[in-house]
């Protein structure tokens, strides 16, 4: 490829930083995938054959695979020009593969396990190979080798795990595969003689990458709203169910408020001010992963206190009703540290309060437990508001 072709392939500093419509179309596929994961979890929490803990573990592995597909795409389009035909083709490949994986999710540990695994491996390796061939090895042939070595290492684990009949063996193999994929991503795919290098390095488009994280967080909130609407529309509209519906909506608004005040709204500035943009961006990816998992789990809790607001609360449901918000706050605390180099006391207090609520709410109806969790989130949001009134807006000061 000529130097001019390379320049068109790479994202320019003066080019459009907003996500393209094609990128947003990929997000719609992830919305569908999150609804399938939520549906799995709701079935598991309401007495499904898998059981709660097994169901949580399986859903987590499926979610992590989908997140790996999405995050690698986002990193690539924050480094490369998303309007380039080669990059658009890769996005279309990703959209198609992610849709197949999402369709396989409901039975992703059963009859469709091989479909899920083969699609994941084919997509992850196939798009890297396509980009390398179509781009004539540009702009960084060594990066292609690094990524392919790591993806090739996890591929047999995914494929064999999808073919075996024993669920425990499949879970063990896929857990190992996920660890290989995420360690590679986190460390920049270190390879003998070639070293390590995150995608794009310091050339990452900070504004674009930050926007994509924010958009996916909103996607997760949208999926929670979908769960709320589906659960309430199928209810009998009893007063307690109406209360559960209102409580779920209020909790969703609180999650939105806590995320965007303040760290969630200044991601682009934080990345651009970082001394090591690729390192900070990687850390933020993992923080968002935790928050989104928390939102999905919180949405599962919404299903309970909308449909059965006054029933006896089975202990495993506390994992969703209290554990979901706790997971979100943990990820949000990590994001705050990444953006400002410190964590607000209200975040730690919120996590502690949610932990203490677990034994205290064990015998309360679901709607009461959900209300207690919402009160904690309201306290965290209120502390943010008071702090913003007492002092000027804080500027990002990332620790890396």
| Residue-level pLDDT at 1 | 34
The answer to whether residue 228 scores a pLDDT higher than 80 is yes
Angle, helices 85-104 vs 21-45, to 10°: value is: 10
| Residue-level pLDDT at 200 | 59
- pLDDT tens digits, one per residue of 23-40: 999 999 999 999 999 999
| Residue-level pLDDT at 24 | 92
206: confidence class by pLDDT, cuts 50, 70, 90: confident
CATH of domain 206-390: 1.20.1410
Percentage of the residues of the chain whose pLDDT score is greater than 70: 95
CB 128 within 8 Å of CB 86: no
| Residue-level pLDDT at 201 | 59
In the chain, where are the structural domains located? Answer: 3-202, 206-390
How many residues comprise the chain?
A: 400
The answer to whether residue 13 scores a pLDDT higher than 70 is no
With 0-12 CB in 10 A as exposed, 13-18 as middle and 19+ as buried, what is 153? middle
Residue 226: other Cβ atoms inside 10 A: 16
| Residue-level pLDDT at 7 | 45
- pLDDT tens digits, one per residue of 268-321: 999 989 998 888 988 999 999 999 999 999 999 999 889 999 988 788 899 999
The mean pLDDT of 174-183, rounded to a whole number, is 97
Residue 168: other Cβ atoms inside 10 A: 9
The mean pLDDT of 329-357, rounded to a whole number, is 96
CB 88 within 8 Å of CB 82: yes
- Record the tokens describing residue 255, joined without a space: 């999650």
d(CA 323, CA 369): 11
The per-residue pLDDT of the chain, averaged, comes to 91
| Peptide bond between residue 136 and the one before it cis (omega within 30 degrees of 0) | no
Number of continuous H segments (helices) and E segments (strands) in the chain: 15, 0
């Amino acid at each position: 490829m000529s130097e001019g072709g390379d320049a068109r392939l790479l994202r320019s500093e003066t080019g459009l930083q907003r996500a393209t419509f094609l990128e947003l179309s990929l997000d719609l596929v992830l919305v569908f995938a999150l609804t399938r994961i939520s549906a799995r979890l709701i079935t598991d929490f309401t007495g499904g054959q898998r059981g709660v803990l097994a169901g949580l573990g399986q859903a987590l592995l499926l979610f992590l695979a989908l997140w790996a597909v999405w995050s690698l795409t986002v990193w690539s389009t924050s480094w490369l020009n998303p309007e380039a035909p080669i990059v658009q083709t890769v996005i279309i490949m990703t959209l198609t593969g992610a849709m197949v994986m999402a369709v396989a999710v409901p039975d992703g540990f059963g009859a469709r396990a091989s479909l899920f695994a083969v699609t994941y491996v084919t997509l992850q390796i196939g798009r890297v190979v396509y980009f390398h061939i179509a781009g004539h090895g540009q702009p960084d042939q060594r990066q292609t080798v690094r990524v392919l070595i790591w993806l090739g290492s996890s591929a047999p684990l995914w494929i064999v795990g999808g073919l075996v009949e024993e669920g425990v063996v499949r879970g063990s193999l896929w857990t190992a595969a996920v660890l290989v994929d995420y360690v590679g991503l986190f460390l920049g795919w270190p390879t003998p003689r070639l070293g390590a290098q995150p995608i794009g390095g310091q050339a990452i488009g900070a504004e674009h990458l930050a926007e994509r994280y924010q958009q996916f967080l909103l996607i997760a909130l949208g999926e929670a709203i979908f769960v709320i609407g589906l659960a309430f529309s199928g209810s009998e509209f009893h007063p307690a169910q109406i209360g559960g519906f209102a409580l779920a909506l209020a909790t969703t608004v609180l999650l939105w408020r806590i995320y965007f005040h303040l760290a969630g709204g200044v991601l682009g500035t934080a990345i651009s001010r970082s001394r090591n943009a690729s390192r900070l961006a990687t850390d933020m990816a993992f923080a968002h992963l935790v928050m989104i998992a928390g939102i999905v789990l919180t949405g599962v809790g919404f299903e309970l206190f909308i449909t059965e607001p006054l029933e006896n609360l089975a202990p495993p449901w506390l994992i969703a009703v209290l554990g979901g918000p706790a997971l979100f706050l943990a990820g949000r605390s990590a994001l705050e540290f990444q953006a400002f180099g410190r964590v607000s006391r209200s975040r730690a207090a919120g996590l502690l309060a949610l932990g203490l609520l677990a034994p205290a709410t064990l015998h309360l109806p679901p709607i009461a437990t959900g209300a207690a969790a919402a009160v904690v989130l309201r306290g965290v949001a209120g502390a943010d508001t008071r702090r913003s009134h007492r002092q000027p807006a804080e500027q990002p000061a990332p620790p890396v």
